[in-house]
Structure 1
């Protein structure tokens, strides 16, 4: 990270000096020394601005910058030690530390003056795009290969070869996402291999790509079996991206596991090495060269937001041509321009990201807290919090296209992103020997390496090349594996790690099977970030952890068996982020947590279930003072709050203006009467900027007055609201008037009769933004306001009146409908279904009264996916083709049909056989199905036919008649 030296000098040191100045009070001698030091650092920052750009042109300057960086790092250690001691004891005139600082730093002045340069920093930033430019021939060749079915082997392999920056991955993504390719293959999978060719890991990644969850097996035999179930008999496309190390003795093992696909299956491999292409495939590879000058100019102009043909300024065009000539057609050279023009504080944040493996899904909030832990975030002159500034850094890097593939978890709402592999290469290049990740060559580690990350193939202290690291230098020990764990990490290994690297700032041990955290953890006095999440064997933490007075982040997410936090947790005076989500055995919080004024993120506030001992633990009153809490907060066991607490506390949440998501859970151990719960809820009025609200197991009979009378005024920005197991409530607040509400979930409210403000005359303006609605277990609910913009509707154990009445009327934008365990009328109600002209997916499960589909389904002119399961009285064998196909030209948009456990099904209905564009047909456990008609052969588009669990001899004979090459 040599390029980030300005940020280190300007942000970290200046911030530490400011902290130190705040601690010395009236000790004038120490204060004067710190002020001189502050001036020196400021002067160095100004002098080094131009040196950063010059170092690429002069080895001498580069060497000077490296030396300065080492000095700055060591100075940071001294200042941090000073501040840590200041937190532990009152200063008593001891200025020895500052004398060390002054002596240490005075020799830098001459070096700094020799570094003075006269160039200005350009502020123009280039925008990176992912358009594929200048690869028309390559696109055609790859597409031709993928769509070709005239092949001898079931599975064919094509390598794409080229040096870094030429667009191998971009080309593969282009064809991978092509609509024609998506229709051609039954299954598509993408795995980023990178430096670490591990057959077991690749197989696991393929399974995760398809199943979207952790594999059921950890041993190779089980993984092989699971892989075969996924690919056998299916035409698949697999991309193995960035393959470096396919050895002649290891590649055949992986290849043999992938040969079970149907004819026409294809594997695309992107690699920089021609040798990899020779080993993996007999077919001639696609060889990528540099872009032509014209194509490079097109790329550059698009990055500048212009088109080549639209540029009138001939000087600008000439400059552009000069740039692309110097880039020699390599995009990576253009990316370097974008990096060079970043401000220094963003450069160090970007370079730090080289610690994550390629294609790694980076959690946004984790990344910003890591940056904070490293001291990369510069405090502003305004009142902005460090968290807000860190998020601005992330946003700035996003706007400059240093991150991509942004996603938001549908449950946690957590944002994630990835780095393009070229951006990752660039990050590794600029970080040089300061950062090392486990997938790299271990020879790159030396005594200057300050940040390392390790993955699942490395033991904590056994295989990592620890001996090459300088104990006083290492600052970051980051784990980059998934959350499903690895080999057991012993307490001996942890003690050795702590003993060797006492200047660690970041220690990440998530999913490392830690059973015990050693008491010696307190020796890491510089530690600012500790991640022990996903360690299911961990039961308790040592109380010595509370001596980590610099600790900012403590992540315990998913420590399912953790029973208690350290009793002296209030001594963690720097703690800003405490994540205790999914710590199911954690029954209370220790007293004093409300005194940690620095706390900005607290995921769960757990009230004690034992009222008799409640005074020994953290009570609801401590939450009142934690007004800096932001993001998500879940308050648990509200049903155990004592009557005395309810009377004493008022407006507990109103001051928490940065809170975005709130969960209020009364729990299963409620011993209060209804009146106490209702008063308590009235005093839990959230701040007006809240976006998401969940209410669970509330035992009151009505919701508080501020919800029933003034919900729109109190929560105008609410986007998502959920009610679960509020079993005594008969009516919900006027949710239909919320202007921003997009998602509404109502679960297990057996007495609920009304939703909305006025049932007698529903307004056409009700639910103006609602897109998703789920209603489960509300059997008394007979009507609700109109939802004209709804796109997704899920009904489970619903009252049949909802389907017959106006519930389904006017839903002409509905795309997805799921109906489960509902007492249907005999037919799909025509009056409601005739408005569902946009419906693309219909899923019907266990609707026992349903006997016919045609009356409703004949109106579904946009239906793509149909699934029917466990409807015992439904007989679709009857010929209803005339009734269905006479409307809207039939179901010609239908692509996928799944039929399961329909005991009355004896043959396929004619309306199904007349759908011309059907691609997938699955029939499960229909034991009375006797025949597959000859018309099935006329399905030109059918690519996948699965029939299983239908134990009928007549059907077996029918299927044998259909056996053929396809």
Structure 2
């Protein structure tokens, strides 16, 4: 995950160092060290743009990036510790007696902390400067590589090579033959993930369609209007003007297409700047009525910009078509196969190919002229590895991935923690990205709004699919199996999901997820030294099996002791009955999910010492009776989910001081006025100016000034 290091560098520069410099006057002179660290990271960040491009091609560069990422993570930890300590001091200074403040922050303690922080910042600075001094020269000299296909497409295809696309062909041919369109020139985008057969479908209809003029242009990544016009003229058997100017080219093109009803295929179109598209479209609109343009693309946004009609969303092949294609590639014909076992094995294989022709073809070629035992062995042992192992599949998928900016690459790779077919909640995903520091901050926008933009970008680019909005306008989605394989591939050792077949956890693994059959720390193949680097421990279960409370509490204690740098702790549905008071030792924690623990009655007040905590999810903790009385100390809290907490009878006083709150599902006023000293009052809502989404205010009937 080379791109992660660029995001980490950006986070350090944009957030952590800036915050630390602002606190410097309060916590002592580390300003010089911070400035030197800032300079070192800024210099390396420029070099890393090239390192990302070469990461998968050069083992030397890969090793250099991996080691530098370790150093950046260490710097991130040190700076966060500095800022957390500063927040705690501010909180104490505002809310405790000055005598206590003077006692706690005596001169000797301030000096000791100052020396400790200067030493820590110096150590990480020296380590990072060593990378700067020993930089790899080829990183700066390597030219920027084009991410498009290395091979230009053409319009020819044998009809016998097309399987299962008759319905798709009929839909597209209906569009091509429709003469009642409002526009002179109508445009149909064909959209789908890599390897699904968009180009093959375009070839299929291109060969059978009747037009005065047909032109096939492979666009790829470089949407250059001049180059496209030249290719169109070449297809129209027109010689280029002797003077290669756009003026002469456009005259010749318009002279040609204004007279003849034409079909233009723009194959393999990636992202388009709208201005460039309009520049080309203006030249194409003069064609006779009935002229058509087909565009094949992986990105829904391209379809949104270019299409004059609803795009044709290409789906996977049916199982029968996939089986037919598999047997063809394996050198067999279904009607000639007499062994029914081979057919049954083939059916099992194609079910795991997700209907993607590229995968079916690749698998079929690997089974060419193989015996039944070899087919059986392949199904049981080799098939799960094909999409990760085979160059043709992964290279096609990596094309889409390579076009993403670094921050989206990191967000996408993080999704490898979720199992295949997992329904991902958009808001939860955004909260996790924010908690991990993946969101590039912008003073003009809330982090959640930026994160929503990230999500929609990945959806538009077909990394996510099956997006469904729920009544609260949040929404869920999932990932195609191949996209999940891609996420696992690019995440590498950075992420580890229990049950993915990996026996041990790599020393550089930082994100872990686990399911319902996983025994927390009891089943975690990781040493204490490796555990200290972990940042994510996330539950992806929907339902949890019964587990002994004593064993669970012991595992939680061990987890807290071992995972000192955790940012995300997901204990969804784990039957937690009691949260250890030692939870406050996870000082970096930004995300705590205790949802669906229906025996949890209360939280320890020590949890309010988690000054970095942004999300606290207590959804459907049915037995929860109260929240910590000092909840106002959670100054970074952005999301508090307490829907489904039926026994929670009031919110504690001070909730209105949590000015960073973005989401508060319920504002619960007490029915019993005997708790007047401890509960929040309705007036505290006036301090929550950033609340969004749905908010339920309960028990208004018991308030006299409602």
Q: What TM-score, normalized by structure 2, do the two folds share?
A: 0.64
Match in the other structure for 2:539: 479
SS of residue paired to 1:632? coil
Query: Larger RCO: Structure 1 or Structure 2 (Cα < 8 Å, ≥ 6 residues apart)?
Result: 2
Say yes or no: does 1:535 pair with 2:597: yes
Give the conservation status (yes or no) of the 8 Å contact 2:326–2:350: no
Shift of 1:9: 1.2
Q: What is the aligned partner in structure 2 of residue 5 from structure 1?
A: 5
Change (3 A) 1:616 1:279: closer
Mark the CA change 1:279 to 1:29 in structure 2 (over 3 Å): closer, same or farther.
Answer: closer
Q: Distance in 2 between matches of 1:274 and 1:71?
A: 47
Tell me, yes or no, if the aligned pair for 1:594 and 1:623 is still in contact at 8 Å: yes
Q: CA deviation at 1:33?
A: 2.8
Q: 2:464 aligns with which of 382, 386, 403?
A: 403
Q: Please state how far the C-alpha of 1:524 moved relative to its aligned partner.
A: 0.7
Aligned pairs, how many? 499
1:565-611 CA-to-partner distances (Å, cap 9, x unmatched) read 00000011111110001000000000001001111111110011113
**Contact 1:488/1:513 (8 A) holds in 2:** no
Determine the structure 2 residue equivalent to 1:101.
121
Verify: 1:36 aligned to 2:98, yes or no.
Answer: no
CA contact 2:504–2:525 (8 Å) conserved in 1: no
Q: Distance in 1 between matches of 2:498 and 2:10?
A: 30
Number of the residue aligned with 2:509: 449
Distance 1:502 1:29, change over 3 A: closer
Deviation at 1:472, TM superposition (A): 1.9
Matched residue, 1:45:
45
**In structure 2, how many angstroms separate the alpha carbons of the residues matched to 1:173 and 1:63?**
31
Aligned pairs (5 A) from 1:499-518: 499-518=561-580
Give the secondary structure class of the aligned counterpart of 2:9: helix
- Aligned partners of 2:29 and 2:579: how far apart in 1? 42
Matched, 1:131 2:314: yes
Higher strand content, 1 or 2: 1
Whether 1:120 and 2:135 are equivalent positions in the alignment is no
CA distance in 2 between counterparts of 1:95 and 1:279 reads: 59
The more displaced of 413-422 and 424-433 is: 413-422
Q: TM-score, normalised by structure 1?
A: 0.48
1:546 pairs, out of 608, 617, 633, with: 608
| 1:466 alignment partner, SS class | coil
Q: Distance in 2 between matches of 1:113 and 1:576?
A: 42
Report the CA distance shift for 1:496/1:134 in structure 2 as closer, same or farther (over 3 A).
closer
Provide, for residues 208-233 of structure 1, a one-character-per-residue CA deviation record: whole Å limited to 9, x for no partner: xxxxxxxxxxxxxxxxxxxxxxxxxx
CA distance in 1, matches of 2:684, 2:40: 44
Where do 5+ consecutive residues of structure 2 fail to align? 91-104, 148-220, 222-269, 272-296, 300-312, 328-334, 364-373
Given the alignment, which residue of 607, 616, 621 partners 2:669? 607
Structure 1 distance, partners of 2:439, 2:321, is: 44
- 2:84 corresponds to 1:24: no
Contact 2:3 2:410 in 1 (8 A): yes
Query: 1:50·1:120 contact (CA, 8 Å) conserved in 2?
Result: yes
Could you list the per-position Cα deviations for residues 765-819 of structure 1 after superposition, in whole angstroms to 9, with x for gaps in the alignment?
Answer: xxxxxxxxxxxxxxxxxxxxxxxxxxxxxxxxxxxxxxxxxxxxxxxxxxxxxxx
Change in Cα spacing, 1:581 to 1:121, as seen in structure 2 (3 Å) is farther
Mapped to 2, the partners of 1:485 and 1:377 lie a distance apart of 35
Q: 1:451 to 1:459 in 2, by over 3 A?
A: same
Superposed, 1:389-788 pairs within 5 Å as 389-410=450-471, 412-467=472-527, 470-483=530-543, 486-489=546-549, 490-642=552-704, 645-646=705-706
> Residue by residue, what CA displacement relative to the aligned partner does 1:141-164 show, whole Å, maximum 9, x if unpaired?
4999xxx9xxxx9xx956446699
Match of 1:275 in 2: 376
- Distance of aligned partners of 1:332 and 1:279 in 2 relative to their CA distance in 1, 3 Å threshold: closer
Whichever structure has more helix as a proportion of its residues is 2
- Residue pairs, 1:150-549, within 5 angstroms: 159-160=346-347, 167-170=353-356, 274-275=375-376, 330-380=392-442, 382-410=443-471, 412-467=472-527, 470-483=530-543, 486-489=546-549, 490-549=552-611
2:349, 2:405 → 1: CA distance? 32
Paired residues of 1:406 and 1:418 also in contact (CA < 8 A): yes
Is the partner of 2:531 in helix, strand or coil?
coil
Question: Do 1:445 and 1:469's aligned partners in 2 also have CA atoms closer than 8 Å?
Answer: no
**2:134 — aligned with what?**
111
What secondary structure, in the 3-state scheme, does the structure 2 residue paired with 1:635 have? strand
- String of CA shifts for 1:29-66, please: whole Å, max 9, x gaps: 42333233222222211111101111222111111111
The change in CA–CA distance for 1:486 and 1:419 in structure 2 (over 3 A counts) is farther
Distance 1:433 1:64 in 2: 15
Superposed CA offset, 1:467-494 (max 9, x none): 3761321111011100465534521111
Deviation at 1:361, TM superposition (A): 0.7
Q: Which residue of 2 aligns with 1:750?
A: none
Partner of residue 938, structure 1: none
Q: Deviations over 1:422-477 (max 9, x none)?
A: 11111111111111001222334122111111111111122221337613211110
Give the Cα–Cα distance (whole angstroms) in 1 for the partners of residues 475 and 315 of structure 2.
27
Give the secondary-structure state (helix, strand or coil) at the position aligned to 2:523: coil
Structure 1 contact 495–518 (Cα < 8 Å) conserved: yes
Q: Secondary structure in 1 aligned to 2:43?
A: helix
Of the structure 1 ranges 37-46 and 450-459, higher mean CA displacement relative to structure 2 is found in 37-46
- Cα separation, 1, equivalents of 2:140 and 2:609: 43
For 1:173 and 1:634, the matched residues in 2 are separated by 49
Helix, strand or coil: the match of 1:458? coil
* 2:317 and 2:357 in contact (8 A); partners too: no
Unaligned runs of 5+ in 1: 175-241, 243-272, 281-285, 291-326, 647-966
Pairing 1:860-939 to 2, within 5 Å after superposition: none
Q: Do the aligned residues in 2 keep the contact of 1:23 with 1:86 (CA within 8 Å)?
A: yes
Distance 2:44 2:56 in 1: 19
Supply the distance in 2 between the matched residues of 1:534 and 1:4 (Cα, whole angstroms). 32
CA contact (8 A) 1:336 1:426 kept: yes
CA–CA distance in structure 1, aligned partners of residues 70 and 28 of structure 2 = 30
Distance across 2 between alignment mates of 1:530 and 1:23: 26
Specify the SS of the correspondent of 1:470: helix
- Which whole-Å CA distance do the structure 1 matches of 2:325 and 2:544 have between them? 36
Kept in 1: contact 2:411–2:433 (CA 8 A): yes
Provide the aligned C-alpha RMSD in A.
3.8
Specify whether residues 347 and 139 from structure 1 end up closer, same or farther in structure 2 by C-alpha distance, changes over 3 A only. closer
- Determine the C-alpha separation between the residues in 1 that align with 2:559 and 2:392: 42
How much has 1:625 moved relative to structure 2?
1.2
| 1-structure distance, mates of 2:469, 2:492 | 32
**SS at the partner of 2:467?**
strand
Secondary structure of the residue that 1:616 maps to in structure 2?
A: coil
Instruction: Give the conservation status (yes or no) of the 8 Å contact 1:552–1:575.
Output: yes
CA contact (8 A) 2:323 2:346 kept: no
